[in-house]
Amino acid sequence: SVAVFFVRVRPLTQGTGLTTDGAQSLCLNVSSPNTIRLLSKPEPRTFIYDHVADMDTSQDSVFTSVAKNIVESCMNGYNGTIFAYGQTGSGKTFTMLGPSELDNFTDELRGVIPRSFEYLFFLIDREVETSGKSKSFLCKCSFIEIYNEQIYDLLDSASASLFLRENIKKGVFVEGAVEKFVNSAAEAYQVLSMGWRNRRVASTSMNRESSRSHAVFTMTLESKEYRNEVVNIRRSQLNLVDLAGSERQKDTHAEGSRLKVQLSVG
């Protein structure tokens, strides 16, 4: 397996108390597509990643750089995982999904997850069209949440905590998680939306609505190809993950039950 690291610089937002002019614009510099320079004192520090997106990078460009090749690899039978990591308010959910407020949602601001749905089904439709009846696809989705070291099924709000299992055929999997078959990007997004409404959210002083859980949306793709009376079956998974905020307790002023959760997800 290969791990690839991308960094996205988030623009300043309302409520930070900072402005984009003057010295505030000089705290860091994206000096190349894979280099970010932190203008710290006494000595600046340089960090190198596989790709760095500055604050002006569009959602489409982020998808092309981060997710496009992974979706294509899933079509070829390889498993892929995309996850966003960072402090609460750093833009993880915006990058993965898009704006949190429906009034602000536009096609241009769609995140990595909806764009991955669209591209995957575009590739499926193209493959079916070019292969005729010799190839078919099945796609099913599951959506789980890891909260306070417990696993919950976001597609079944009445379910109890689930458990991880492992066997030779499936590898590691969540036993009892609901899987829904989908035939289009729109259907996949409906499943995502249904699960997202069930996600457990707690408020902290760092963000109006700070997620305190990890959410894992998994698309399982199965293709069947018929050649000379032989059926070749290929399976792969695409995992799309929105992690809980990575901030430290002393920065959020969390206490009591929220501190316990923070220690669990940190």
Output the CA torsion 15→211→35→14 (10° steps): -10
Q: Is 88 annotated as a binding residue?
A: yes
- Of 227, 4, 15, 264, the C-alpha closest to 133 is 227
Q: Is 90 annotated as a binding residue?
A: yes
C-alpha–C-alpha distance, residues 86 and 253, integer Å: 18
Q: Is 92 annotated as a binding residue?
A: yes
Dig out the tokens for 225 from the structure.
């190809």
Beta strand residue intervals within the chain, DSSP E: 6-8, 28-32, 35-38, 45-48, 51-53, 80-84, 135-147, 150-153, 163-167, 171-175, 180-182, 214-227, 230-242
Q: Are residues 36 and 49 in contact, defined by beta-carbon separation less than 8 angstroms? A: yes
Quickly count: other Cβ atoms within 10 Å of residue 201's Cβ. Answer: 10
- Of 131, 134, 97, the C-alpha closest to 113 is 97
Q: Is 86 annotated as a binding residue?
A: yes
Q: Are residues 261 and 201 in contact, defined by beta-carbon separation less than 8 angstroms? A: no
Residues in the chain: 266
Dig out the tokens for 179 from the structure.
């899987």
Q: Is 89 annotated as a binding residue?
A: yes
Query: How do beta strands 80-84 and 230-242 pair?
Result: parallel
Q: Are residues 92 and 84 in contact, defined by beta-carbon separation less than 8 angstroms? A: yes
Q: Is 93 annotated as a binding residue?
A: yes
Q: Is 91 annotated as a binding residue?
A: yes
Which residue ranges make up the annotated binding site? 86-93
Which residue ranges make up the annotated binding site for ATP? 86-93
